[in-house]
Amino acid sequence: MNVQYTALKPQRRGTLDVERLRADFPILRLHVKGKPLVFLDNAASSQMPQPVIDRWLRYQTTQHANIHRAVHTLSETATAEYEAARGKLQAFLNAKEEREVIFTSGTTDAINLVAHGYGRKFIGAGDEIVLTTLEHHSNIVPWQMVAEERGARLRVVPVNDRGELIVEEYERLVGSRTKLVALTHVSNALGTVNPVREMIAMAHAKGIPVLLDGAQAVPHMKVDVQDLDCDFYAFSGHKMFGPTGVGVLYGKAAWLEKMQPFKGGGDMILSVTFEKTTYNVIPHKFEAGTPPIAAAITLGAAVDYLAGVGMERIAAYETDLLDYATEQVNRLPGVRIIGTAEKKAAVLSFTVGGVHPHDVGTLLNEEGVAVRTGHHCAQPVMQRFKVPATSRASFAFYNTHEEVDALVAGIRKVQKVFG
């Protein structure tokens, strides 16, 4: 491979050479409906750059075997690469220890792991779990299941008209019955960046652990789990330029050691007899069966790629891009932006007066512009803002101001059709 990839070269501080970075993403060269693809559905799933795709290929062509099993060379190589990926994720999150990083199949799987491992062990009748209006269904339904089974109750932090959590209400809701706070770092439907550090400190003052759903945060900003002091942090690989099928649960070692295993099977045990099984140590206790080895190693490459670009630079560029998009879309008569929080990341949710979001999405697609339309798996948010659905443009660092212009031109065309 003689190809040079720009992301791995040091870049001028504070700037992002987007055109050079875009060249790393082969899918961005596609045309849809005869028009250049404008991919603005990154919150649902992002695209992979060539070095990350190449890592998958290199693993499958030269390194694949099952891990933690055999003594042969390939198995040892695969094990070393898999555990090295864990180390990369540890560094990415600034976790204290490697064993605090558990590979899961994704955010949903990670949250379910905590719902089972922590919830079914430590949450009982009369206890409360505090969630927020902004949660994705994946951070609601697992807790509903636990609450129903254990006779516990969900308490929900409301949001104001801008889509910001009302922190005073949160403070009131967190009380002596609260056994866990589960909240999103960044709202997938609105883009609101929640004041999680402050909220975690408030919960900890009352001895309550906090789980953060970081799926929409990790692609856009530097996340330091020790600085946040969260007890659990869950996210997916495919929303951060890695592959589908892999995600991460970070958990403080003290909690992970106390929790019960989620799935039973191979690799999560030390010894098995029909009378008694001794569980493996963390993180292996939570990685039953053959894990997504190729996907985890490839996610490690995505982390390397992001480190090459620089999370601070990504955050600065995307803030500028979102400001530009907000300004341009705000100029369109009849278009309402849903979610106007002071601190937002990479998401622009909107409605076009008199046009259902599904019609907006279908007609934007005719212009090559890919947006998500619907309830974004966040129906409570839709109910709060009294809309059945929205159209959502969600950005990544490879999106450009010209693509925002294409979105705006597309919305104008939609309005013309519906005239």
Partner 1 sequence: MADTKQLYQEVILDHNRKPRNWGTLPDATHRAEGHNPLCGDHITLTLRLREDTVEAVNVQGESCAICKASASMMTTTVKGKTRTDAEQLIQEFRDMATGKLDAARPNHLGRLTVFAGVRDLPTRVKCAILPWHTLHAAFNAVASTTTEADADPMHEQIIGGAG
Quickly count helices (H) and strands (E) in the chain. 15, 17
CA-CA distance, 242 to 324, in Å (whole number)? 27
The interface region with partner 1, picked from 37-45, 95-103, 116-124, 273-281 by CB under 8 A, is: 37-45
Q: Examine residue 45 and tell whether it contacts partner 1 (CB under 8 A).
A: yes
Is the separation of the CB atoms in 279 and 138 below 8 Å? no
Among 16, 301, 355, 370, binds partner 1 (CB under 8 A): 355
Q: At 160, phi and psi to the nearest 5?
A: -85, -175
Q: Examine residue 388 and tell whether it contacts partner 1 (CB under 8 A).
A: yes
Is the separation of the CB atoms in 198 and 192 below 8 Å? no
User: Which of 377, 404, 407, 414 is labelled catalytic?
Assistant: 377
Q: Examine residue 185 and tell whether it contacts partner 1 (CB under 8 A).
A: no
CA-CA distance, 55 to 294, in Å (whole number)? 9
Q: Spell out the long-range contacts of 273-281 with Cβ–Cβ below 8 A and sequence spacing 24 or more.
A: 281/99
Q: Examine residue 33 and tell whether it contacts partner 1 (CB under 8 A).
A: yes
Among 105, 298, 373, 415, binds partner 1 (CB under 8 A): 373
The pair of three-digit structure tokens given for residue 134, joined into one six-digit string: 């902004």
Residue 354 φ/ψ region, left for φ over 0, alpha for ψ in the -120 to 50 degree band, beta for the rest:
left
The DSSP element (H or E) to which 236 belongs, if any, is strand 232-236
The pair of three-digit structure tokens given for residue 181, joined into one six-digit string: 């706070």
Of 200, 195, 243, 235, the residue nearest 218 (C-alpha): 235
> What residues from 124 to 143 belong to the interface with partner 1 (CB under 8 A)?
136
Q: Examine residue 89 and tell whether it contacts partner 1 (CB under 8 A).
A: no
- For the chain, the maximum distance between any two Cα atoms, rounded to a whole number of angstroms, is 73
Decide whether 330 or 362 has the Cβ nearer to partner 1.
362
Min dist CB 179 to partner 1, Å, is 28
Q: Examine residue 43 and tell whether it contacts partner 1 (CB under 8 A).
A: yes
Q: Are strands 153-157 and 128-132 parallel, antiparallel or unpaired?
A: parallel
Q: Examine residue 239 and tell whether it contacts partner 1 (CB under 8 A).
A: yes
Q: Examine residue 418 and tell whether it contacts partner 1 (CB under 8 A).
A: yes
Min dist CB 361 to partner 1, Å, is 8
The pair of three-digit structure tokens given for residue 265, joined into one six-digit string: 């099977």
Report the first-to-last Cα separation within the chain, whole angstroms. 53
Q: Examine residue 417 and tell whether it contacts partner 1 (CB under 8 A).
A: yes
Q: Examine residue 263 and tell whether it contacts partner 1 (CB under 8 A).
A: no
The interface region with partner 1, picked from 258-266, 310-318, 328-336, 350-358 by CB under 8 A, is: 350-358
Q: Examine residue 358 and tell whether it contacts partner 1 (CB under 8 A).
A: yes
Q: Examine residue 369 and tell whether it contacts partner 1 (CB under 8 A).
A: no
377 a catalytic residue: yes
Of 284, 147, 362, 302, the residue nearest 155 (C-alpha): 147
Q: Examine residue 384 and tell whether it contacts partner 1 (CB under 8 A).
A: no
Q: Examine residue 57 and tell whether it contacts partner 1 (CB under 8 A).
A: no
Decide whether 86 or 136 has the Cβ nearer to partner 1.
136
- Give the interface with partner 1 as residue ranges (CB under 8 A): 33, 41, 43-45, 136, 188, 215, 239, 355-359, 362-363, 366, 372-377, 382, 388-389, 417-418
- Catalytic residue set: 377
